[in-house]
Amino acid sequence: MSTKVPQNNEDQEIDIFDISKGIQIFFDKINTLIFKSIHFFVRNWIIVLTIVILGFGFGLFLDNTQKSYDNQIIVQPNFGSVDYLYSKVDLIDAKITSGDTVFLKNVVGISHPKKIKKIEIKPVVDVYNFIKNKPENFELIKLMADNSDIKKIIEDNLTSKNYTYHTISFVTDDVVKDKGMAEALLSFFNNTKYYKKIQEESLKNIEAKMIQNDTIISQINNVLGAFSAKEAHSQKSDKLVYYNENTQLNDVIKTKDELVIEQGIHRIELIASDKIIKDVSTTTNIEKTGFFYGKKKIVLPLIFIFMYVLISIFIAFYRKQSLILQKNN
């Protein structure tokens, strides 16, 4: 056993020596690569400087000319017109993609159709208002969530179309002035004979319901007034009178309270129902941001230099392999 120990130590010393030598060779290669890179740029500094100037100039030109702006319209589709609105937005987006500026100008009414580059619509996810005072919606979400992820259900296309508000977003390559493009889009969406007829009848129904509610509230007030007068008279009398009408009276007061709340809801409905697609708010000319947006003057010189280095490496490799091939032949 004693004769094997020195041999193992000698093997370990050889291994350590090989590892240190390998590390030294590795760093020597890195130093050589760094030197060759510096030498390449020093030798070709005129070409590199030219590429940087051209890339910076071209990037500066693109930053100043290729701008992009986000525009948003939050709308409330009324009278069951959600699917109609989504189909109209998809139609406009298809016309933008195909470059049909005639349709966008003459039918939609966009005065400068080449400015608009994209349009889309998404729901404003508001699940709390979706289930508020609507037990059937809450039960529906519970039923669907039993077999799927609740987040997917809330954002599902079938569910999301039933939310109250939706955001129409469109991108332009120039500043939109005086909200003209947004107004043209809203005018196009509201130009539908079918839903205008539904709007007329729905408004008549709301107004008739409000008149009926006012009549019932007036009748309830008369009943309450008569009861108050009767109670006041009994208190003045020297005889003790008992009433067993408290339960019915509470129901009457509760009914009046519900009718008053319903009247308030109807008044809000009338405000929002003056249009088929009611615009809630419009925000225009939000300049887009991003990692490369507005930084092409910095990015393009780097890309051009990288391409120049790759081309130079390819040419050097091709020449080397050609010389080797010639020698072998």
Helix (H) or strand (E) holding 103: helix 101-103
Q: Are residues 180 and 128 in the same domain?
A: yes
Long-range contacts: 214-217, Cβ < 8 Å, 24+? Answer: 214/263, 216/255, 216/259, 217/256, 217/259, 217/260, 217/263
Q: Are residues 14 and 78 in the same domain?
A: no
pLDDT above 80 for 115: yes
Q: Are residues 148 and 210 in the same domain?
A: no
Identify the pLDDT of residue 74: 93
Sequence-distant (6+) residues with CB within 8 A of 169 are: 70, 71, 72, 119, 120, 121, 122
Decide which of 272, 302, 318 is a domain's last residue: 272
What pLDDT band is residue 242 in, cutting at 50, 70 and 90?
very low
pLDDT above 60 for 7: no
Identify the pLDDT of residue 94: 93
**Nearest of 62, 61, 272 to residue 165 by alpha carbon:** 272
Q: Are residues 13 and 116 in the same domain?
A: no
Identify the pLDDT of residue 176: 75
Go through the chain and tell me how many residues it has. Answer: 329
Identify the pLDDT of residue 175: 77
Q: Is 301 exposed, middle or buried (0-12, 13-18, 19+ CB in 10 A)?
A: buried
Identify the pLDDT of residue 147: 58
What's the structural domain count of the chain?
A: 3
Classify 184 as helix, strand or coil. helix
Beta bridge partners of 121: 168
pLDDT in tens, 282-315: 888 887 766 666 677 788 888 888 888 888 888 8
What pLDDT band is residue 9 in, cutting at 50, 70 and 90?
low
Identify the pLDDT of residue 194: 93
**Nearest of 184, 179, 202, 153 to residue 88 by alpha carbon:** 184
Of the spans 15-19, 152-156, 164-168, which averages the highest pLDDT? 164-168
pLDDT in tens, 264-286: 888 888 888 889 999 888 888 88
Helix axes of 296-328 and 45-65: crossing angle, nearest 10 degrees: 140
**Nearest of 60, 170, 46 to residue 120 by alpha carbon:** 170
pLDDT above 90 for 197: yes
CATH of the domain at 117: 3.30.70.100
CA distances from 212 to 198, 220, 221, 235 (A): 21, 12, 14, 35
Distance CA 203, CA 198 (A): 9
Residue 135 is given by DSSP the state H
Q: Are residues 179 and 257 in the same domain?
A: no
Beta bridge partners of 220: none
What value does the mean pLDDT take over residues 100-129? Answer: 85
pLDDT above 50 for 178: yes
Per the rule left: phi > 0, alpha: psi between -120 and 50, beta: everything else, 75 is: beta
Classify 271 as helix, strand or coil. helix
Distance CA 237, CA 288 (A): 80
What value does the mean pLDDT take over residues 144-157? Answer: 57
Identify the pLDDT of residue 166: 92
Identify the pLDDT of residue 259: 86
Q: Are residues 155 and 185 in the same domain?
A: yes
Q: Are residues 166 and 89 in the same domain?
A: yes
The domain of 218 spans: 199-272
What pLDDT band is residue 218 in, cutting at 50, 70 and 90?
confident
The model's pTM: 0.65
User: For residues 189 and 221, is the Cβ–Cβ distance under 8 A?
Assistant: no
What value does the mean pLDDT take over residues 251-257? Answer: 83
What pLDDT band is residue 95 in, cutting at 50, 70 and 90?
very high
Q: Answer with the residue of higher pLDDT: 47 or 141.
A: 47
What b-and-e string marks burial along 124-143, b requiring 16 or more CB atoms within 10 Å of the CB?
A: eeebeebbeeeeebeebbee
Q: Are residues 223 and 246 in the same domain?
A: yes
Q: Are residues 250 and 180 in the same domain?
A: no
Q: For the chain, give me the number of helices (H) and strands (E)?
A: 12, 4
Q: Are residues 128 and 251 in the same domain?
A: no
What value does the mean pLDDT take over residues 94-119? Answer: 89
Q: Are residues 26 and 173 in the same domain?
A: no
For residue 76, the tally of other CB atoms under 10 A from its CB is 19
Q: Are residues 71 and 182 in the same domain?
A: yes
Q: What's at 169, amino acid-wise?
A: S
End-to-end CA distance of the chain: 59
Residue 131 tokens, joined:
């289930």
pLDDT in tens, 17-66: 667 777 777 777 787 778 877 877 788 888 888 888 888 888 777 777 67
What pLDDT band is residue 198 in, cutting at 50, 70 and 90?
very high
